[in-house]
């Protein structure tokens, strides 16, 4: 394994790896070591500690002293990623969640592929593990490249840990929405895919680990609440073509009906009223 600590930071870095983390002292070394094992070594690794109190900062300083460590009060994963992007010097940005990892050829194959393309973003297929057992992905989670906007509407179909992005893309579509506690990646991929072609590597070069207690997807009920907010924002602020606008409205209506049905089962009359009013005003608001 290559020694991550022996890599000096280059002020004209080509690839910046950004790893947001919060109390993941036990899994962060796995992520960092997978970066160290890359056949294409990035020029800059940034760990953004989003308010950890489990000794994460001390561990990074002791074991990985040449990594750029940024510390900020707990503000959420979007803020942490945005801090890393803002402080990065690379022309390419690779995101990696602190509970995930990469196969050794991940960056090399992405750089080679993106270098031959006009596209500004590339992702890879994934291997999933939950509680140390490998999972088979469902058909709805199947990944691909090209025009993926319509694939992104039902659910998040690109993993942050799998992407390599030309930094100029953030200038055009913005960064991650810090008002969203979850589904921030869903929101971001909608903004990207409505105007960008996406490159894709079929080989599973990203390793996703699930099942742990602090996964954000387990923290919030009714995840479609946040997807509704993302679609509403997209319709109000983004110049979609006619097909995209129709598809977004159809998906918004579908997710509102799901939320209304769920709220009725929980006898939550307040949410039934809120989402029913949104449904009634859908055509007027997004004509």
| Per-residue pLDDT, 136 | 74
| Per-residue pLDDT, 6 | 45
Structural domains counted in the chain = 2
Residues 205 and 249 in one domain: no
**Measured CA distances, 137 to 44, 49, 103, 115, 208 (Å):** 32, 31, 18, 29, 11
Residues 165 and 180 in one domain: yes
C-alpha dihedral (184, 185, 191, 195), degrees to nearest 10: 180
| Per-residue pLDDT, 132 | 77
Residues 197 and 254 in one domain: no
CATH number at residue 82: 3.90.550.10
CB 17 within 8 A of CB 96: yes
- Give the sign of the dihedral formed by CA 148, CA 190, CA 156, CA 150: negative
Residues 8 and 146 in one domain: yes
pLDDT digits (tens), the chain, 287 positions: 455 554 444 444 599 999 999 999 999 999 999 999 999 999 999 999 999 999 999 999 999 999 999 999 999 999 999 999 999 999 999 999 999 999 999 999 999 999 899 999 999 999 999 877 887 777 777 899 999 999 999 999 999 999 999 999 999 999 999 999 999 999 999 999 999 999 999 999 999 998 656 555 556 678 999 999 999 999 999 999 999 999 999 999 999 999 999 999 999 999 999 999 999 988 776 76
| Per-residue pLDDT, 214 | 58
Which two tokens mark 109? 């194959």
| Helix (H) / strand (E) containing 6 | none
Which two tokens mark 191? 């903004």
**CA-to-CA distance for 123 and 205, rounded, in angstroms?**
9
Cα 82 to its chain centre, rounded Å, is 11
Residues 199 and 241 in one domain: no
Q: Residue 204 is part of which domain span? A: 4-219
| Per-residue pLDDT, 175 | 97
Which two tokens mark 145? 């490249």
Q: List strand residue ranges (DSSP E) for 22-120, in order.
A: 44-49, 68-71, 92-95, 101-102
Residues 24 and 93 in one domain: yes
**CA-to-CA distance for 57 and 22, rounded, in angstroms?**
10
Largest CA distance in the chain: 60
183 φψ region: left (φ > 0), alpha (ψ -120 to 50), beta (else): left
Nearest to 60 by CA among 85, 31, 83: 31
Q: Please identify which residue in the block is written with the tokens 């939320």.
A: 259
| Per-residue pLDDT, 71 | 94
Which two tokens mark 236? 């109000």
- Beta-bridge mates of residue 208: 128
Of 219, 248, 269, which residue constitutes the final position of a domain? Answer: 219
Residues 161 and 203 in one domain: yes
Name, in order, each residue with C-beta under 8 angstroms of 9's C-beta and a sequence gap of 6 or more: 43, 44, 66, 68
Of 165, 186, 219, which residue constitutes the final position of a domain? Answer: 219
| Per-residue pLDDT, 134 | 84
Residues 27 and 106 in one domain: yes
**CA-to-CA distance for 287 and 281, rounded, in angstroms?**
10
Of 169, 200, 219, which residue constitutes the final position of a domain? Answer: 219
Residues 47 and 89 in one domain: yes
Residues 230 and 281 in one domain: yes
CB 123 within 8 A of CB 193: no
| Per-residue pLDDT, 213 | 60
């Amino acid at each position: 394994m290559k020694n991550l600590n022996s890599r000096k930071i280059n002020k004209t870095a080509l690839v910046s790896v950004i790893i947001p983390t919060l109390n993941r002292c036990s899994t962060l070394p796995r992520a960092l070591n997978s970066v160290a094992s890359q056949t294409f070594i990035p020029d800059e690794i940034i760990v953004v500690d989003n308010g950890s109190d489990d000794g994460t900062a001390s561990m990074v300083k002791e074991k990985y002293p040449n990594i750029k460590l940024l510390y900020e009060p707990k503000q959420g994963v979007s803020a942490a990623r945005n801090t890393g992007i803002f402080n990065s010097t690379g022309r390419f940005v690779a995101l990696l969640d602190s509970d995930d990892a990469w196969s050794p050829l991940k960056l090399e194959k992405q750089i080679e592929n993106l270098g031959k393309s006009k596209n500004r973003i590339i992702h890879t297929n994934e291997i999933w593990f939950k509680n140390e057992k490998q999972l088979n992905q469902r058909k709805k989670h199947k990944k691909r490249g090209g025009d993926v906007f319509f694939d992104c509407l039902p659910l998040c179909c690109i993993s942050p840990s799998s992407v390599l992005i030309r930094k100029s893309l953030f200038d055009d579509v913005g960064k991650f929405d810090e008002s969203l506690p979850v589904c921030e990646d869903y929101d971001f991929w909608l903004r990207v895919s409505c105007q960008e072609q996406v490159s894709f590597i079929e080989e599973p070069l990203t390793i996703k680990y699930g099942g742990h207690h602090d996964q954000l997807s387990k923290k919030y009920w009714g995840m479609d609440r946040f997807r509704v907010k993302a679609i509403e924002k997209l319709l109000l602020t983004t110049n979609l073509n006619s097909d995209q606008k129709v598809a977004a409205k159809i998906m918004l209506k579908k997710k509102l009906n799901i939320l209304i049905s769920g709220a009725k089962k929980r006898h939550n009359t307040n949410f039934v009223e809120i989402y029913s009013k949104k449904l009634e005003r859908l055509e007027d608001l997004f004509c």
